[in-house]
């Protein structure tokens, strides 16, 4: 089987993209389409005293100007966070109200207060500028530490001191006791910089209200159209689910930022009903910086204890998580259950305790961005381990090896039960490929050229395939996290797979077809993947958290099991054999040990003509399934980064980046490697280039590509990507997930390498040339003292 599991099948979806025939939301034009432009607050914190839209309404081509009082007056509900987190003291989190259009108060620059609907995008934008809003400005706070300080400006009435939750996990007293009696203590302050996700396709929405049927259609840039429909219906009261169709056509990248249901989609739907026009909105790039949910932004203090044999005895972590001005859909889960549950890393640690404060600030809401909590956890763990090795004077690889979890399943003190892995094998593979042994020679050679060479490790572990619905429900999730699939075998034997997963770059049309090809011995060209339309696919939880393989494909497998059972019954009946003797291979249904067979399309035809099927059997050949995972999956690996720093300028060049990952079963290595490449670039971006910058007034200084440094082609190297896998026991294909690992594992490897090169461990991300240069000056000053 050349197209089955493990084959590097070229992507079925590519042709439309390379010929310019992709169909993204902004490419679509509805008849009688109007355009929306939002009136956004230029202030980070202000009372709204009044809105004067008279000049805008007088402009030719303006259809209407709508505001938040009208929106709430029509019963449109507040935007909610779908994951309830309980504080240490047992109280629920303090969620402030978030209206799609602000009424009394704005809380970040970009908060929308009104929307202009006009005949063209140009008129709408011009008219939006002529809407006069009377603001009474209020004091502003942008950092989580400052927002928790006494006397900080109060952002939401029901979150005193701007504290949303004060949550904890792990075993506190034993951890403190272990740290108190530890032989060595490593203690660090660690900042995880705020990032803007920046999928290349800006968000876009087109809403159409059909008055005669009381029905809405929404085209939108979503990673999870069914979740969007559910939330728009159940919480925002836009329309009941059967009166709302959500379509996410080709979507140009998501990285988490297109999970959420934003004010703009809600407003477009509502405005379509108000104006009886199709309403389109497409974000420009600065608007994306101002409104797409940001990622990360943690301030952490961590303390790790070792015994005299360099075994870790305990870890205590405190993190202040900046959640921005409002609670986005999964904002509470990201710095808690997706973060602190990974604070045992790849290591056997008996005692771990973490507490996390979720904090309101006058900034863009923060939510899951590629990796979601796990990059923050791996950054804490792997910076601590590398620092510990330096302080203990031991090899960083040795120190990790000594502390690895070696037996599975392994229960950590922070909920997770690791099911499989071979961390030493990944480490060895990466060390061999990176020629770790030869590093000191290369360092010496670089020094002769006046360059500082450094090497850094990162042995990450993360949790994907989120996760058993009952488990996440008990932790506060407002939804189940299963996936659904339908397998339709047509009368001519071709197959359509309808999946609740959504592809926005991941290549599902190819990978999903491969598992069908493998199972039934058919060419992938006979298999079509249908996704992204709530009218076609029965339901789906969408694509994020690297769940399309472990959960989405498992649902397809479960549906294929049912198809296979029915096919075998038909085969046994027609071929007059025992069902136990029926096998399916090479696109045929065969009787074992004989030459009797039915070709695949003959089975399809038999099922649909129903002239000769077993008595009592329903005609047709179509099965659906819902798959609920039994556990998280645990991708893990070892990344080694080697850099050279120019001490004159602080410019860092990545000489070599080596990644050895354990993703379990790999369906299409070409696609998996591509996922790792992209994740690595985003992680290197975080480590060296990217960072959202606010001034003290809450103005975003980095809200364009002239100011926010996206990694370019000449900023990154060719990557050495390899696999050393153990099968995941938790799902039928043995898959762990590969979508986020690169972004999770790489930042600590880069910073560990740079700090190794410059001999100063005090370096925050992004390690720009000026930051590296300053750290070098600090190091030489300290050396002189």
Nearest to 468 by CA among 409, 534, 516, 415: 415
Rule CB under 8 A: say whether 747 interacts with another protein. Answer: no
CB of 364 to another protein, least distance (A): 18
Residue closer to another protein, measured from CB, 305 or 711: 711
Rule CB under 8 A: say whether 200 interacts with another protein. Answer: yes
HSE-CB of 270 using CA atoms within 13 angstroms: 30
**Contact positions with another protein (CB under 8 A) in 115-154:** 122
CB of 241 to another protein, least distance (A): 28
HSE-CB of 98 using CA atoms within 13 angstroms: 25
Rule CB under 8 A: say whether 781 interacts with another protein. Answer: no
**Contact positions with another protein (CB under 8 A) in 466-525:** 504-507
Rule CB under 8 A: say whether 19 interacts with another protein. Answer: yes
Contacts of 389 (CB under 8 A, 6+ apart): 395, 396, 398, 399
Q: Of these, 208, 351, 427, 682, which contacts another protein (CB under 8 A)?
A: 682
Rule CB under 8 A: say whether 18 interacts with another protein. Answer: yes
Three-class DSSP labels, 235-269: CCCCCCHHHEEEECCECCCCCCCCCCCCHHHHHHH
Q: Of these, 184, 301, 311, 677, which contacts another protein (CB under 8 A)?
A: 677
The CA angle 691-693-699, to the nearest 5 degrees, is 150
Contact stretch for another protein (CB under 8 A) within 155-163, 196-204, 549-557, 750-758: 196-204
CB of 31 to another protein, least distance (A): 14
Contact stretch for another protein (CB under 8 A) within 37-45, 183-191, 250-258, 487-495: 250-258
Task: Round to whole Å and give the CA distance between 607 and 587.
Answer: 16
Rule CB under 8 A: say whether 255 interacts with another protein. Answer: yes
Alpha helices in 171-314 (DSSP H): 172-180, 225-234, 263-275, 285-291
3-state class (DSSP) for residue 221: coil
Q: Of these, 2, 20, 160, 407, which contacts another protein (CB under 8 A)?
A: 20
**Contact positions with another protein (CB under 8 A) in 350-389:** none
Task: Round to whole Å and give the CA distance between 81 and 314.
Answer: 33
Contact stretch for another protein (CB under 8 A) within 269-277, 390-398, 518-526, 708-716: 708-716
Place of tokens 């710095």: 335
Place of tokens 């449109």: 76
Task: Round to whole Å and give the CA distance between 136 and 138.
Answer: 7
Question: Phi/psi class of residue 87: alpha, beta or left (left: φ > 0; alpha: ψ in -120 to 50)?
Answer: beta
CB of 674 to another protein, least distance (A): 5
**Contact positions with another protein (CB under 8 A) in 286-325:** 286
- Site size toward another protein (CB under 8 A) is 57
Rule CB under 8 A: say whether 253 interacts with another protein. Answer: yes
Rule CB under 8 A: say whether 6 interacts with another protein. Answer: no
Q: Of these, 130, 151, 159, 250, which contacts another protein (CB under 8 A)?
A: 250
Q: Of these, 411, 609, 704, 762, which contacts another protein (CB under 8 A)?
A: 704
Rule CB under 8 A: say whether 596 interacts with another protein. Answer: no
Contact stretch for another protein (CB under 8 A) within 282-290, 300-308, 604-612, 753-761: 282-290
Task: Round to whole Å and give the CA distance between 711 and 641.
Answer: 17
Residue closer to another protein, measured from CB, 670 or 722: 670
Q: Of these, 611, 718, 783, 785, which contacts another protein (CB under 8 A)?
A: 718
Burial class (CB in 10 A: 0-12, 13-18, 19+), 369: buried
Beta-sheet strands, E only, within 360-517: 410-411, 417-418, 452-461, 483-489, 495-499
Rule CB under 8 A: say whether 653 interacts with another protein. Answer: no
Q: Of these, 84, 153, 491, 674, which contacts another protein (CB under 8 A)?
A: 674
Contact stretch for another protein (CB under 8 A) within 63-71, 199-207, 418-426, 647-655: 199-207
Rule CB under 8 A: say whether 690 interacts with another protein. Answer: no
Q: Of these, 96, 110, 202, 637, which contacts another protein (CB under 8 A)?
A: 202
Structure tokens given for 637: 């690996």
Rule CB under 8 A: say whether 783 interacts with another protein. Answer: no
CB of 221 to another protein, least distance (A): 10
Residue 108: DSSP 8-state: S
Structure tokens given for 579: 């069902």
CA dist 770 to 195, 366, 761, 773, Å?
19, 27, 16, 5
Q: Of these, 263, 295, 679, 745, which contacts another protein (CB under 8 A)?
A: 679
Task: Round to whole Å and give the CA distance between 132 and 136.
Answer: 13
Burial class (CB in 10 A: 0-12, 13-18, 19+), 231: buried
Q: Which residues bind another protein (CB under 8 A)?
A: 10-11, 13-24, 26-27, 29, 122, 198-202, 250-253, 255, 284-286, 504-507, 670-671, 673-674, 677-682, 704-706, 710-714, 716, 718-719, 742
């Amino acid at each position: 089987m050349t197209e089955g599991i493990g084959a590097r099948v070229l992507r079925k979806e590519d042709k439309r993209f390379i010929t310019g025939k992709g169909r993204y939301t902004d490419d679509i034009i509805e008849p009688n389409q109007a355009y929306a432009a939002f009136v956004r607050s230029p202030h980070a914190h202000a009372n709204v005293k009044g809105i004067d839209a008279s000049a805008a309404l007088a402009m030719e081509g303006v259809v209407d100007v709508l505001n938040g009082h009208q929106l709430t007056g029509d019963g449109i509900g507040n935007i909610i966070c779908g994951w309830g987190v309980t504080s240490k003291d047992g109280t629920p989190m303090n969620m402030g109200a978030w209206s799609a259009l602000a009424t009394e108060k704005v809380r970040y620059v970009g908060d929308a207060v009104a929307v202009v609907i006009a005949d063209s995008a140009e008129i709408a934008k011009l008219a939006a500028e002529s809407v006069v809003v009377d603001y009474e400005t209020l004091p502003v706070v942008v950092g989580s530490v400052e927002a928790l300080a006494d006397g900080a400006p109060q952002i939401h009435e029901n979150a005193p001191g701007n504290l949303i939750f004060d949550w904890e996990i792990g075993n506190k007293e034993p951890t403190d006791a272990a740290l108190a009696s530890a032989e060595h203590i490593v203690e660090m302050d660690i900042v995880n910089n705020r990032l803007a996700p920046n999928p290349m396709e800006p968000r876009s929405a087109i809403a159409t209200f059909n008055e005669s049927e009381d029905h809405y259609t929404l085209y939108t840039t979503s990673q999870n159209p069914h979740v969007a429909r559910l939330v728009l219906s159940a919480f925002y009261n836009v329309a009941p689910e059967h009166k709302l169709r959500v379509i996410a056509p080709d979507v140009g990248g998501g990285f988490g930022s297109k999970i959420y249901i934003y004010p703009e989609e809600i407003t477009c739907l509502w405005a379509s009903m108000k104006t009886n026009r199709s309403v389109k909105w497409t974000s420009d790039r600065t608007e994306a910086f101002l409104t797409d949910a940001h990622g990360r932004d943690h301030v952490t203090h961590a303390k790790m204890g070792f015994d005299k044999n360099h075994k870790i005895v305990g870890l205590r972590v405190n993190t202040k998580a900046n959640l921005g001005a409002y609670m986005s859909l999964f904002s509470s889960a990201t710095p808690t259950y997706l973060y602190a549950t990974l604070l045992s890393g790849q290591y056997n640690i008996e005692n771990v305790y973490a507490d996390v404060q979720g904090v309101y600030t006058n900034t863009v809401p923060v939510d899951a961005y590629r990796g979601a909590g796990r990059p923050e956890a791996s950054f804490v763990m792997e910076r601590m381990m590398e620092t510990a090795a330096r302080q203990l004077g031991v090899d960083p690889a040795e120190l990790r090896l000594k502390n690895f979890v070696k037996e599975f399943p392994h229960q950590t003190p922070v909920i997770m039960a690791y099911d499989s892995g071979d961390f030493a094998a990944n480490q060895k593979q990466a060390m061999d490929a990176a020629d770790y042994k030869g590093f000191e020679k290369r360092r010496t050679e670089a020094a002769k050229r006046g360059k500082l060479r450094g090497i850094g490790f990162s042995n990450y572990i993360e949790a994907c395939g989120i996760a058993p619905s009952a488990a996440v429900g008990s932790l506060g999730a407002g939804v189940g996290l299963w996936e659904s699939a339908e397998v339709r075998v047509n009368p001519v034997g071709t197959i359509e797979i309808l999946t609740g997963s959504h592809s926005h770059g991941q290549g599902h049309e190819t990978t999903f077809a491969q598992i069908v090809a493998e199972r039934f011995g058919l060419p992938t060209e006979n298999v079509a993947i249908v996704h992204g339309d709530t009218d076609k696919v029965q339901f789906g939880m969408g694509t994020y958290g690297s769940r399309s393989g472990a959960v989405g494909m498992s649902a397809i497998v479960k549906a294929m099991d049912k198809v296979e059972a029915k096919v075998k019954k038909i085969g046994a009946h027609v071929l007059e054999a025992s069902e136990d003797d029926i096998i399916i291979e090479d696109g045929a249904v065969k009787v074992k040990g004989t030459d009797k067979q039915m070709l695949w399309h003959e089975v399809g035809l038999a099922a649909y003509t129903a002239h000769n099927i077993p008595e009592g059997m329903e005609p047709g050949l179509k099965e659906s399934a819902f798959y609920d995972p039994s556990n998280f999956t645990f991708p893990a690996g070892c990344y080694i980064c080697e850099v050279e720093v120019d001490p004159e300028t602080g410019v860092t060049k990545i000489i070599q980046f080596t990644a050895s990952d354990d993703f379990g079963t790999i369906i299409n290595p070409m696609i998996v490697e591509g996922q790792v490449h992209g994740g690595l670039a985003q992680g290197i971006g975080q480590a060296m280039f990217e960072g959202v910058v606010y001034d003290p007034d809450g103005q975003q200084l980095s809200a364009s590509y002239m100011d926010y440094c996206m990694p370019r082609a000449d900023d990154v190297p060719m990557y050495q990507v390899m696999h050393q896998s153990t099968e995941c026991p938790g799902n039928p294909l043995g898959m762990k997930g590969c979508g986020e690992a690169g972004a999770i594992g790489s930042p600590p490897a880069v910073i560990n390498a740079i700090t190794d090169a410059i001999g100063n461990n005090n370096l925050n991300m992004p390690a720009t040339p000026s930051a590296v240069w300053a750290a070098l000056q600090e190091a030489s000053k300290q050396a002189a003292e």
